[in-house]
Structure 1
């Protein structure tokens, strides 16, 4: 079976990538791509990875030409940047293109402590409990804070108006610690594969997001809904909520076509190097959902760069 041709770029490259805060999955992916790309580029190639928050800041960095390639999550949130919806209403970035998508099966979920005796958003609105709700900062950049507040606002949940408060942080670990250490009695967050959720899930009720809220979020911003499987959280039945899946590798249409092809080739043909770093975890509990499937990696929520499309089109038929 013939595989797509391995790239060879004779000239030296100078590229700027943008990952995450420094120790999470997006930086790891940048390191992998930089290593494999440099091996196939000319002598003197230099590839830098800049710190990032992996959210709207990464998208804007590509849109403004500050970096050549960035990773952001969830993948579907980038679609609003193409035509200037939501947080991109003041400036749109139709020049954005994708090099591939790396799977992370994630959800943004809302949960409240069982002592509140609440199982639905309707009950939440009716009883107006005092919530100490852990989530991420809502600053127009952090996708978690953005999505959490969008769900709560559209569901008619007024945390502050009901006498409660938000416990806001940048990364999920701080938010999960608020729950585990009793500072919070509610949470709206993602990274559901982390083991912290399994520890406190028996004491919490996970609230299905109402259909009209999910439909409006998809219509307005392109944010899809998804299901959390029965028993994924101990004692919790299956429920619908906001999909928060996948890492999108974003560039602009200005990236050289041979470089775009080479990055896509690295993603698909050297995927075992990334997969090996997660094999100690079951796929459904891993921050990268392996095994990686190159054809699926080419099904991106924004248009593929032509160079990347050339790689995915060259894949053998299933």
Structure 2
């Protein structure tokens, strides 16, 4: 008999039991980061509640528009992507999805990660605002992710800089482009870069670098344009989140979206949403050695807010969230 770690509590939505054996394909991240970890959690808890010959595989991915397209095309049943808001454009074929829309995308929930895309320049440059940056036109060596039409960080960095009137190469500077944040942070730490546009602000290297960087607030007209064109929201970085840095507004880069299509079986959609909400202690336990505000998963997880997604919920998932007791 399979081990089952959780049973229905009084007043909670009913625990799923799927008698048939299923084969599911999930899509996570490169293999060693948080999206893959979430997929492993879903796979373990879902398999415990399905037939004895259930098989669940997690495919490697970049976790950006490639994941959205893969699930939209039916290549996988469930995909993880981040940030959550960036998937909205795929529903209507806006922005990077102008060539191929996916109106049948549905959400199973979100795993919260409070994150921001930030623009920072070395304090030696004496620049504190985008206006000063445009006036000075320094030859920056700027680290960020690749802008290849897939990587959401590179895409967002390009949009923010271009709409802010910043021309890195035109001003005689250099772009240092990589896939993941670790390489970009290393460029700054090791002196190869004197500016950075990136996310994953909870990573420890940001605390080290923050003492030597000025963080630039993204101007309101830029934030408004990004929301109008792509539905990308703005957010605040709180006072002293980076050492000695006052609060500022920038682009929100929050949350991991669990994405599927409308044709996923209702009982599977309900079961996955139930796993997210009712076995949340499984994933929380993997991050509790970190303070919530410094954790790649912002715990404690709240099932109600996990069901609040900018992409419409799958009806099976909605059945779980609608069954939650009123707070």
- TM-score bin (small chain): over 0.9
Would you say 1:42 and 2:20 are equivalent positions? no
Measured after TM superposition, the shift of residue 54 of structure 1 is 0.4
TM-score w.r.t. length of structure 1: 1.00
Q: Name the CA distance, whole Å, in 2 between partners of 1:206 and 1:114.
A: 9
Gaps of 5+ in 1: none
Counterpart for residue 285 of structure 1: 294
Counterpart for residue 234 of structure 1: 243
Q: Name the CA distance, whole Å, in 2 between partners of 1:312 and 1:103.
A: 16
Q: Name the CA distance, whole Å, in 1 between partners of 2:59 and 2:181.
A: 21
Counterpart for residue 3 of structure 2: none
TM-score w.r.t. length of structure 2: 0.97
Measured after TM superposition, the shift of residue 143 of structure 1 is 0.3
Q: CA deviation digits over 1:120-174, x for unaligned, max 9?
A: 0011111100000000000000000000000000000000000001100000000
- Give the SS at the match of 1:182: coil
2:40 to 19, 31, 38: 31
Task: Calculate the aligned-residue CA RMSD, in Å.
Answer: 0.5
How many matched pairs? 318
Counterpart for residue 85 of structure 1: 94
Q: Name the CA distance, whole Å, in 1 between partners of 2:239 and 2:224.
A: 22
Would you say 1:211 and 2:210 are equivalent positions? no
2:319 to 289, 293, 310: 310
Q: Name the CA distance, whole Å, in 1 between partners of 2:275 and 2:248.
A: 36
- Give the SS at the match of 2:139: coil
For residues 108-257 of structure 1, what are the structure 2 equivalents within 5 Å? 108-257=117-266
Q: Name the CA distance, whole Å, in 2 between partners of 1:149 and 1:38.
A: 41
Q: CA deviation digits over 1:266-318, x for unaligned, max 9?
A: 00000000000000000000000000000000000110000000000000110
Measured after TM superposition, the shift of residue 26 of structure 1 is 0.3
Q: Name the CA distance, whole Å, in 2 between partners of 1:271 and 1:25.
A: 14
Q: Name the CA distance, whole Å, in 1 between partners of 2:244 and 2:138.
A: 23
Q: CA deviation digits over 1:50-73, x for unaligned, max 9?
A: 000000000000011100000000
Q: Name the CA distance, whole Å, in 2 between partners of 1:35 and 1:195.
A: 30
Measured after TM superposition, the shift of residue 202 of structure 1 is 1.0
- Give the SS at the match of 2:297: coil
- Give the SS at the match of 1:129: coil
Structure 1 runs (4+) deviating above 6 angstroms are none
Measured after TM superposition, the shift of residue 194 of structure 1 is 0.2
Measured after TM superposition, the shift of residue 235 of structure 1 is 1.4
Gaps of 5+ in 2: 1-9
